[in-house]
Amino acid sequence: MKKAVLLLAVMFAFSSLMTAQDMKKMQRFGIKSGVVKYEISGNTEGKRAVWWDEYGRKMREEISTVTITKILGMKSETVTHTVTVTVDDRFWTADLEKMTGIKGALYGTELDEEIDEMTEKEQEALGQAILDSLGGEIEGQESFMGYTCEVIRAMGSRVWVHKGINLKTESNVLGIKYYEKAVQFQPGSAVQDSFFTPYSGVEYKEFEVEGEGMDEGQAEILKGLFGN
């Protein structure tokens, strides 16, 4: 459990460069397959659902939200409805509001190789170092929906994690409030292969991300821990 939580911290901190290949090697979840559905409240309201198989190697995420922003007495509303399917190192994201989509492959070299070659203790040390750099900590264990969760606090957020799966999130950063809690959790349930097929009726344009290597901050963390 502790290893999974600390690896989650790595993924959280490196999310801007983390790739599907990284996730495949690191085994994203500690449960082979399942479904989790959430309610979202705060400045953004709506729903999110995640289906997965093969410990997260295959994933489908659907998000439907409305965000209301008030600036100088002016109010704006942003409606979002997306479906993202990820299989290995490929992803397809469909915007159901605009009926447009992007697809692509996210590549990485140094980061995934470094983490993949680490021992379990080194991975735990990396996760702890990242939590420390964020001013975060593992607060302990709490039960949510009858499941034992590790509670992680970092950057104005608290996350309840069960075997690598977020079941509850509370965040208040610069007055922007975001609350997400699972209302349905079916660990171990079988998910049909059709869920991991890109959403149909959308033309997907190729999207490329330069993800070669780590930025200086990420490299310094690894150097500080392991001296190379």
Say how many residues make up the chain.
228
Mean pLDDT of 116-133: 74
Distances from the Cα of 153 to the Cα of 15, 18, 129, 181, 182, angstroms: 17, 20, 14, 16, 18
The model's confidence at residue 70, banded by pLDDT at 50, 70 and 90, is confident
191 pLDDT exceeds 70? yes
- 24-50 pLDDT, tens digit per residue, is 445 688 999 999 999 999 999 999 999
Please choose, from the candidates 142, 141, 157, the residue with its C-alpha nearest in 3D space to the C-alpha of residue 13: 157
Predicted confidence (pLDDT) at residue 113 exceeds the cutoff of 80? no
The confidence score (pLDDT) of residue 21 equals: 39
Average pLDDT over residues 90-112: 82
Residue 107's pLDDT is 56
pLDDT at 15 exceeding the cut of 50: no
- Tell me what pLDDT residue 209 has: 55
pLDDT confidence of residue 212: 47
Q: What is the pTM of this model?
A: 0.76
pLDDT at position 112 is 57
- Indicate whether 227 pLDDT > 90: no
The residue extents of the domains of the chain are 2-226
Q: Which residue has the higher pLDDT, 196 or 105?
A: 196
pLDDT of amino acid 208: 67
pLDDT in tens, 130-180: 777 777 788 899 999 999 999 988 888 899 999 989 999 999 988 889 999
2-226 has CATH 2.50.20.10 classification: yes
Check pLDDT > 50 for residue 23.
no
Q: What is the mean predicted confidence (pLDDT) over 59-63?
A: 97
